[in-house]
Amino acid sequence: MVCPWYKHGLCTSPKLNEPTEVVTSPSRCLGNELDYKDCSFYIEPGSIEATSIKTRRDSRYMPKPKIYAPIHAVPQHIKIPCPFARIMETEDKIRVVYCEALARLVTRYEAELCSQSWRSCPYAEIASRVRTGV
């Protein structure tokens, strides 16, 4: 059985700052469960420790979205019932829309389309399938 943190020749353990091949060993990573569980970078997948480390690591690399008001600012009246759309207000009181399906801010034009046609959005459909595992 292969170590769950071994992906494409890299160790992706949450204990590491970033994936690397430096700590990998085919005899250990591709060996039996007893071998890779002895590795100092091994954590049980799904454990609280693994989840909290991964969340902290991912948040360090997640850049703050750059907002350009003429493109991203949406009108106050806009309503988007899509479960993947998040209407947020910046410190400067600019309202923007973040799409979780696309993992980015959407433009004013895209927000209008999202408001009107969110049920037929292919991105929301794919994200919904991923979320439910279908």
pLDDT tens readout for residues 71-80? 999 999 999 9
| Alpha helices for 46-121 (secondary structure H) | 48-61, 69-72, 108-117
Please write the tens of the pLDDT for every residue from 94-126: 899 999 888 899 999 999 999 999 999 998 888
SS3 21: coil
**Amino acid 111: pLDDT:** 95
- Predicted model pTM: 0.53
- Of 108, 107, 102, 105, the closest CA to residue 124 belongs to 102
